Amino acid sequence: MIEIEVQNETDQTQQRLRFASVPRIGEGIRLRGTDGFWASYDVLDVWYQKADYGDVWVPYLHVRLTPAEGEAAPLPGEVEPFPFTA
């Protein structure tokens, strides 16, 4: 098991979790949210930092909640070009 520091961009939290392998950028993982429910998260970044002890490198993940199906967040400044009027 590999202990990984997970930094959650959605909740602004970080925690240490154990994984069988290090997830890659773009993969989805299931984590329990602060509300206690399981949710899907996208891996945004993976990096390694040298540990305080020995010649060991510790993996870190940066994750964000996966947008729900059909609820893609609009980009800032995005507007409806020709609104429908009856």
Strand order in the sheet with 28-32: 13-19, 2-8, 57-65, 38-50, 28-32
The whole-number pLDDT of residue 71 equals 59
The series of mean pLDDT values per 10 residues for the chain, 86 residues long, is 91 91 92 88 94 88 82 60 64
Structure token pair of residue 72: 């893609």
The whole-number pLDDT of residue 36 equals 86
Return the domain boundaries, the chain.
2-65
Burial label, 12 (beta-carbon count in 10 A; 0-12, 13-18, 19+): exposed
Distance separating alpha carbons of residues 43 and 19, to the nearest angstrom: 14
Phi, psi torsion values for 38, nearest 5 degrees: -80, 140
The reported pTM is 0.70
